[in-house]
Amino acid sequence: MRTINYLLRTTVIDKMTIPFTIRIALTQEPAFFADLFQRVRKDIDRDLTRIDDEFSPFKATSLLSQFRAGDLSLLESSARFAEVFTLAQAAQVETAGYFDPNFDGDYNPTGLVKGWAINRIFDQRLRPLLRTPEIVGVSLNGGGDIMTAIKATTDFRWGVGIANPLNDSEILGKYDLANNGIATSGLSRRGEHIRRQASSLQQVTIVDESLLFADIWATAGMAAGTKTLLNLAARHQLNGVLVDEQLGVVHFSKGVSQP
Amino acid sequence: MRKLIGYLLSIAVALAVVIDSYIVFFNGHRNSSEASEPSATTSTTATTSSKQSGGQYRNGTYTGKSVQTQWGIVQVRAVIQNGKLTKVNVLKYPDSENRSRQINSQALPVYKAESIKAQSANIQHVSGATETYNGFKGSLQDALNQAQKDSQQKESSR
pLDDT band per the 50, 70, 90 thresholds, residue B70? confident
Q: What is the DSSP string of A140-162?
A: EEETTEEEEEE-TT----EEEEE
Contact A15, A52 (CB under 8 A): yes
As a whole-number percent, the residues of chain A with pLDDT over 70 amount to 95
Residue A22 has pLDDT above 90, yes or no: yes
Residue B5 has pLDDT above 80, yes or no: no
Query: Does residue A54 lie within any of the structural domains?
Result: yes
As a residue count, chain A comes to 259
Q: Is there a contact between A155 and B152 if contact means CB atoms under 8 Å apart? A: yes
Helix spans in chain A (H): 33-55, 63-68, 74-77, 79-94, 110-121, 211-224, 226-236
The whole-number pLDDT of residue A92 equals 95
| Residues 84 through 143 of chain B touching chain A, CB cutoff 8 Å | 84-85, 88, 90, 92, 99, 102-103, 106-118, 121-134, 136, 139-142
Topology (CATH level 3) of domain B31-156? Sufe protein. Chain: A (3.90.1010)
Residue B118 has pLDDT above 50, yes or no: yes
pTM equals 0.83
The whole-number pLDDT of residue B27 equals 35
B158 touching chain A per CB within 8 A: no
pLDDT tens digits, residue range A75-124?
989 999 999 999 999 999 999 999 999 988 899 999 899 999 999 999 99
Residue B1 has pLDDT above 80, yes or no: no
Query: Does residue A34 lie within any of the structural domains?
Result: yes
> A162-166, A197-201, B114-118 — which is least confidently predicted?
B114-118
The shortest CB-CB distance from B90 to any of A9, A71, A90 is to A90
Mean pLDDT of A188-194: 50
Mean pLDDT of A18-38: 97
pLDDT band per the 50, 70, 90 thresholds, residue B94? low
Residue A182 has pLDDT above 60, yes or no: yes
As a whole-number percent, the residues of chain A with pLDDT over 90 amount to 85
> A195-204, B82-91, B114-123 — which is least confidently predicted?
B114-123
Q: What is the DSSP string of A94-153?
A: HTTT-S-TTTTSS---HHHHHHHHHHHHIIIIIGGGGGSTTEEEEEEEETTEEEEEE-TT
Query: Does residue A105 lie within any of the structural domains?
Result: yes
Residues A162 and A202: their CA atoms lie apart, in Å, by: 13
> A12-26, A84-98, B12-26, B100-114 — which is least confidently predicted?
B12-26
Q: Is there a contact between A178 and B107 if contact means CB atoms under 8 Å apart? A: yes
Q: How many beta carbons lie within 10 A of that of residue A126, not counting itself?
A: 24
The whole-number pLDDT of residue A158 equals 97
Domain residue spans in chain B?
31-156
Residues A215 and A238: their CA atoms lie apart, in Å, by: 12
Contact A190, A220 (CB under 8 A): no
Q: Is there a contact between A172 and B115 if contact means CB atoms under 8 Å apart? A: yes
- Give chain A positions within 8 Å (CB) of B127: 141, 144-146, 160-163, 182-184, 205
Q: Is there a contact between B74 and A3 if contact means CB atoms under 8 Å apart? A: no
- Give chain A positions within 8 Å (CB) of B67: 83, 86-87, 90
For B11, residues 6+ apart whose C-beta sits below 8 A from its C-beta are none
Query: Does residue A33 lie within any of the structural domains?
Result: yes
Q: Is there a contact between A19 and B131 if contact means CB atoms under 8 Å apart? A: yes
Residue A175 has pLDDT above 50, yes or no: yes
The whole-number pLDDT of residue B7 equals 57
For B77, residues 6+ apart whose C-beta sits below 8 A from its C-beta are B61, B62, B63, B64, B88, B89, B91
pLDDT band per the 50, 70, 90 thresholds, residue B39? very low
B66: DSSP letter: P
* Chains A & B: contacts with CB separation below 8 Å: 245
Mean pLDDT of A205-234: 95
pLDDT band per the 50, 70, 90 thresholds, residue A232? very high
The whole-number pLDDT of residue A33 equals 98
Identify the three-state secondary structure at position A4: strand
Strands B67-69 and A2-15: unpaired
pLDDT band per the 50, 70, 90 thresholds, residue A258? confident
Q: How many beta carbons lie within 10 A of that of residue B43, not counting itself?
A: 20
The whole-number pLDDT of residue A2 equals 74
Contact A206, A217 (CB under 8 A): yes
The shortest CB-CB distance from A75 to any of B56, B64, B156 is to B64
Residues B25 and A2: their CA atoms lie apart, in Å, by: 68
pLDDT band per the 50, 70, 90 thresholds, residue B97? low
pLDDT mean across residues, chain A: 93
Contact A196, A222 (CB under 8 A): yes
Q: Distance from A1 to chain B by nearest Cα, in Å?
A: 5
Domain hosting A239: range is: 7-258
Query: Does residue A1 lie within any of the structural domains?
Result: no
CATH number, residue A11? 3.10.520.10
Residue A203 has pLDDT above 50, yes or no: yes
> A180-189, B51-60, B122-131, B141-150 — which is least confidently predicted?
B51-60
